[in-house]
């Protein structure tokens, strides 16, 4: 059986693109909440590789553990973990933000990532091998106006990545943080709660990254020789220089 890649947030955007590119070489465990999307992606990628899907909310640790337990034993030997599930919820001044948005970002982007990692890392340690790729963001390197809690969640991902690198150094596990700028996915639509007009403004007059651009970088990282770990990488579209410096031609 092929080595196994476990991808969270596989139902859209970067996670879906990573699933497609890794299907060439790995068996896949694909996660997300949208059951129909998972089924359709499984139907598509099963033509290339073996696929299992786990449908659960990443905030629910019990549900994660139960669905993982239901996998056949050989499917539990995860080799690659792509900690990708996450979103921004809202974009407000700090004193005007909604508690429900703050809870969602901390619970999904930070605690959800930790729950999955807590489950998979001991398996990697047992088999003395593994690659973990955490999806951070430029928002985890620079705070921008109204980014406050989303930025905090991605700064946390950055710190967790560094913590993993330090703590897993003795266990033959590579850990990498991938930090994109603007990528055109469902991200802006989720952030603005389905408001297409606001979401489109995010990508107005620039050529953003595509999720496939990010997936190709992740594929490159995974395919470095055994002695090489790319520990941290930031990827911008050509017209972006920082969180706030964007040339809208």
- Nearest approach, Cβ of 31 to ligand NAP (angstroms)? 6
Complex with ligand NAP: residue 65 or 169, whichever CB lies closer: 65
CA–CA dist 78, 96 (Å, integer): 42
Q: Is residue 14 involved in binding ligand NAP (CB under 6 A)?
A: yes
Residue tagged active-site, from 52, 79, 150, 155: 150
Verify whether residue 79 is a known catalytic residue: no
Residue 18: both structure tokens together: 């990573």
Query: Three-class SS of residue 144?
Result: coil
Contacting residue, 26, 102, 187, 192, with ligand NAP by CB under 6 A: 187
Residues between 128 and 167 that touch ligand NAP (CB under 6 A) = 135, 137
Complex with ligand NAP: residue 74 or 204, whichever CB lies closer: 204
Query: Three-class SS of residue 205?
Result: coil
* Part of the chain binding ligand NAP (CB under 6 A), chosen from 68-76, 121-129, 161-169, 180-188: 180-188
Q: Is residue 12 involved in binding ligand NAP (CB under 6 A)?
A: yes
Contacting residue, 18, 19, 51, 84, with ligand NAP by CB under 6 A: 84
CA–CA dist 158, 94 (Å, integer): 21
Q: Is residue 87 involved in binding ligand NAP (CB under 6 A)?
A: yes
Question: Are the C-beta atoms of residues 37 and 15 closer than 8 Å to each other?
Answer: no
Contacting residue, 23, 133, 173, 190, with ligand NAP by CB under 6 A: 190
Burial (CB count within 10 angstroms: exposed 0-12, middle 13-18, buried 19+), residue 168? middle
**Angle separating helix axes 148-167 and 113-127, nearest 10 degrees:** 10
Residues between 27 and 56 that touch ligand NAP (CB under 6 A) = 32-34, 37
In angstroms, what CA-CA distances link 48 with 35, 43, 128, 146, 247? Answer: 20, 10, 28, 42, 40
Residue 148: both structure tokens together: 């406050």
Q: Is residue 105 involved in binding ligand NAP (CB under 6 A)?
A: no
Contacting residue, 28, 54, 120, 182, with ligand NAP by CB under 6 A: 182
- Nearest approach, Cβ of 174 to ligand NAP (angstroms)? 19
Q: Is residue 57 involved in binding ligand NAP (CB under 6 A)?
A: yes
CA–CA dist 220, 218 (Å, integer): 5
Residue 229: both structure tokens together: 């770990």
Question: What's the residue count for the chain?
Answer: 249
Q: Is residue 186 involved in binding ligand NAP (CB under 6 A)?
A: yes
Q: Which residues are catalytic?
A: 150
Binding site for ligand NAP (CB under 6 A): 9-15, 32-34, 37, 57-59, 84-87, 108, 135, 137, 180, 182-183, 185-187, 190, 211
């Amino acid at each position: 059986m092929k080595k196994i890649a476990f991808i969270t947030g596989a139902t859209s955007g970067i996670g879906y693109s990573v699933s497609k590119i890794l299907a060439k070489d790995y068996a896949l465990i694909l996660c997300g909440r949208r059951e129909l999307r998972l089924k359709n992606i499984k139907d598509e990628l099963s033509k290339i590789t073996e696929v299992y899907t786990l449908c659960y909310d990443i905030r629910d640790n019990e549900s994660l553990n139960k669905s993982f337990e239901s996998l056949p034993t050989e499917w539990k030997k995860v080799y690659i973990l792509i900690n990708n599930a996450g979103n921004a919820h809202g974009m407000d001044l700090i004193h005007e933000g909604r508690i429900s948005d703050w809870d969602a970002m901390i619970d999904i982007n930070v605690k959800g990532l930790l729950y999955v990692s807590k489950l998979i890392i001991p398996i990697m340690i047992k088999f003395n091998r593994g690659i973990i790729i955490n999806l951070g963001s430029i928002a985890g390197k620079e705070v921008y106006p109204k980014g406050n809690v989303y930025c905090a969640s991605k700064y946390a991902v950055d710190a967790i990545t560094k913590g993993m690198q330090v703590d897993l150094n003795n266990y033959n596990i590579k850990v990498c943080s991938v930090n994109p700028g603007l990528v055109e996915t469902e991200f802006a639509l989720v952030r603005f709660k389905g408001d297409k007009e606001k979401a489109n403004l995010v990508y107005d007059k620039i050529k953003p990254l595509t999720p496939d651009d990010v997936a190709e970088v992740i594929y490159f990282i995974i395919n470095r020789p055994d002695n090489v770990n790319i520990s941290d990488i930031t990827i911008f579209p050509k017209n972006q220089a920082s969180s706030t410096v964007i040339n809208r031609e």
